[in-house]
């Protein structure tokens, strides 16, 4: 028997098709696009002691995120405008709008200035995160993150490193993102066809959406961003 607490002999082995690449691809196969989030002091998971403060996380489902550390290297692939009302859809579900000239988008943008409105707007980026081999969205919807959006756009289809900074005023303090150029190389990237497939889906949403899974995970972020300046 093995000495690693296994209950069966190591000689059992795995399927001849059971490669690490196959496992990663099939275990994450889904139409669901996870999202990147900066977890600051006001994030619910941080308050509950379930996630470290001032770390980046990959949110895969409600109340669950993978810790990516204090910095994360990624490739910004493309971007789109986005406005979201947390309880604007059927049954009080979140609803997102993507046409910045639509009355609904403009109204959400205006309402976002009201305290506790549950509204946010900004630029959403499709990113590839090599460390976890996943595509993910990053919604730069707070005033702080929107100021960094031009830096992200300047690095489209290149490499970017997301860092975190603590911003302090006489009354408030909060964590915000810093976007810098990635210095290094990425290996084992998805195929050109996979990048195109993901980008096409991201770039062509319906004008509004209530059934795009990541929207159902944004309530926690909305509360945090309402406090961010």
> Do residues 86 and 95 touch, judged by C-beta distance below 8 A?
no
- The span from the CA of 5 to the CA of 78, in Å, is 46
Which residues, 6+ apart, have CB-to-CB distance to 147 below 8 Å?
none
Task: Provide the pLDDT for residue 211.
Answer: 45
Predicted TM-score (pTM) of this structure:
0.80
Contacts of 190 (CB under 8 A, 6+ apart): 128, 198
Q: What kind and span of H or E run contains 154?
A: helix 143-154
CA 156 from centre of chain: 16
With a cut of 50, list the residues of the chain below it in pLDDT.
Answer: 1-2, 211-223, 225-227
The per-residue pLDDT for range 25-47, each reduced to its tens digit, is: 665 555 579 999 999 998 999 99
Instruction: Note the pLDDT of residue 213.
Output: 42
Euclidean distance between CA atoms 172 and 38, whole angstroms: 17
pLDDT of 32 reads: 74
User: What is the distance between the alpha carbons of residues 216 and 61, in angstroms, rounded to a whole number?
Assistant: 9
Evaluate whether 57 touches 50 at the Cβ level (below 8 Å): no
Share above pLDDT 70 across residues of the chain, in percent, rounded to a whole number:
78
Tokens standing for 176?
């915000």
CB 218, CB 121: distance < 8 Å: no
Which residues have CB under 8 Å from 21's CB, separation 6+? none
Q: What pLDDT score does 229 carry? A: 54
């Amino acid at each position: 028997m093995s000495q690693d607490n296994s209950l069966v002999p190591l000689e059992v082995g795995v399927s001849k098709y059971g490669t690490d690449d196959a496992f990663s691809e099939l275990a994450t196969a889904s139409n669901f696009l996870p999202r990147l989030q900066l977890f600051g002091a006001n994030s619910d998971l941080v308050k509950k002691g379930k996630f470290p403060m001032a770390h980046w996380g990959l949110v895969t489902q409600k109340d669950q995120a993978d810790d990516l550390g204090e910095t994360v290297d990624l490739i910004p692939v493309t971007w789109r405008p986005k406005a979201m009302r947390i309880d604007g859809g059927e049954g009080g579900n979140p609803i997102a709008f993507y046409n910045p000239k639509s009355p609904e988008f403009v109204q959400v943008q205006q309402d976002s200035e009201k305290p506790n409105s549950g509204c946010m707007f900004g630029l959403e980026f499709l990113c590839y995160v090599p460390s976890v081999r996943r595509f993910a969205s990053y919604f730069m919807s707070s005033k702080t993150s929107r100021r960094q959006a031009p830096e992200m756009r300047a690095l489209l289809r290149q490499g970017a490193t997301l860092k975190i900074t603590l911003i302090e005023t006489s009354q408030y303090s909060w964590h915000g993102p810093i976007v810098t150029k990635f210095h290094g190389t990425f290996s084992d990237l998805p195929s050109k066809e996979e990048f195109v497939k993901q980008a096409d889906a991201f770039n062509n949403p319906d004008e509004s959406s209530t059934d795009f899974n990541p929207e159902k995970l944004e309530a926690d972020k909305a509360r945090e961003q309402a406090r961010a300046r």
